[in-house]
Structure formats: C-alpha cells, structure tokens
Structure 1
C-alpha cells in the first residue's frame, strides 16, 4: 500500500525528483517530517511554506491518516500574479 508524492517547481528542485512513492498509513504532518528527513534541509524549507493537495483537494486535517493509493501534490509558493 503506497502513496504517490508529486513535487512541483521549487519542491521538485529541492527533492531532486518529480515523483516518488512512500508507504501509506501516515498523516500529512508525519509525511512532511519524513520527506524533510529523507531529502534534507533544502526540501524542509520548501515544505514549511508549501501547500498540499490530496487527490486534487486541499488537505485541511493534516493529522488524519492518508489512505493508500492517494496522490499528494507538493506545491511551493509561486511568484508572480
């Protein structure tokens, strides 16, 4: 049972990849902590400011378990207007 993580823009550069899979069964907060530990301080900084979509919808309960099979999009703040 897996989750798919997709990185966009600065998050992609900081993670060094556009996508990865991780085991399911954790909350978004736990996932963010794991990704920061796995990829280092550069991604940790991006994750602090990023927005997250879970299967295309904004995630409002960051402590709820993420179901297997979902896709989490990591969207850093975008410049411009």
Structure 2
C-alpha cells in the first residue's frame, strides 16, 4: 500500500510540475490532510486567486458536492474549481 501511495504522490507532483512550469505566478500545494480543517490555515497567509479541489461521486448524504469540497466552496474567499 505504501508503494501505491508513493507512486500516486510522485505522479501528482509531476502533474503539478508540468502545470506550473513557466508560470511563476502559480503556486501549488499538495497536502494530505482533512480539507475542512487544514484548508483554513493557509489561504489567509497566501493570497490565493483560485483553489482547485477534488470531489468524489456524491451519495445520498453529499448529493451535490463532497462534504469537504462543499465546505471549501462555502467558506473560500476566492474562486473554487471542483474537479470530479
């Protein structure tokens, strides 16, 4: 399982590197945390213009957005792009 996590992290870091290459105005952050709580600590310190967050397929309890994505959308002070 640790090998899968390491490979996934490596692939995400490569994607981020490719997306932010030649774009000094872009900053990325890859964190393993509970978004509802960890998210609030950094946007006020870093002036973000947009937040991109993943969401899972909805179930009956979170039909429109995942609960983490919904919390970010409700409370963010900038644009939020939710990717499924």
Q: Decide: shared fold, TM above 0.5.
A: no
Larger-Rg structure = 2
- Of structures 1 and 2, the one scoring higher in RCO (CA 8 A, sep 6+) is 1
TM-score of the superposed pair, with normalisation by structure 2: 0.28
More helix by share: 2
